[in-house]
Structure 1
Amino acid sequence: MVVGGVAVPGSAHVGGDSASPPTRCAACPPWPGTSPRPPPPTAGVVHVDHTARVQTVDRAAAPEFAAVIEHFRQITDVPVVLNTSFNDQEPIVETSAHALATFQACDLDALCIGDYLVERA
């Protein structure tokens, strides 16, 4: 699993793993601090050195995830989602049972595991 990446629909290549160097985020060029323009909507996923760990999603290999990203784009006009670690004061979640236990212990509103959506009552 890659932590702290930006998932975008695209080719079969998956970059941004912990062994690869960060890449310049073409969609998020540096903005001068004095610029009157607002930052782009993806500015929050860009590191302070203007790099990002970009991952692409192969629509053929992961059609459900690509569909989630596309639906998010339709709603927000932002064609990326942030992929981050899932943990709460402990190591990263690695199993469904661990995910459910972590969900119960933290302040998330919902948890999606495969085809299942768990929401707080």
Structure 2
Amino acid sequence: MKKSIHGVILSLLLLTLIGCNTQGAEVDEASPFYTGEITIVSGSSIHVEGKSEVYDSPEFVFHTDDNTAITNETNDTFSIVDLSKGQKVLVWVEKEAPVMESYPPQVTALKIKVTN
């Protein structure tokens, strides 16, 4: 009985870990989650003031991780340290990404594209 319970728990844990992998996740270029201007770059996060078609908040904090792609309009790649206040960005997040209900709201970015 204990072996079957351990097997079920291990299987659920494995499925959860597989489901959390965002590497290689596709981005719908036509539908960014948020559009705006960077107001603060802090560590591995950016604060952006702007708007979203799906979320009502005048500003957002986007965290970055190893899976976050940062590019420009010609698809040159960048690091978070290359971003600066005043840059205009489009931001995509994973389709069902959990948004922290703080003010401003926070979520991990899947892709950030600098547009100026």
Answer yes or no: same fold by TM over 0.5: no
* TM-score category of the 2 structures, normalised to the smaller one: under 0.3
Please state which structure has a larger fraction of its residues in strand.
2
Larger radius of gyration: 2
Please state which structure has a larger fraction of its residues in helix.
1
Provide TM-score, normalisation by structure 1: 0.22
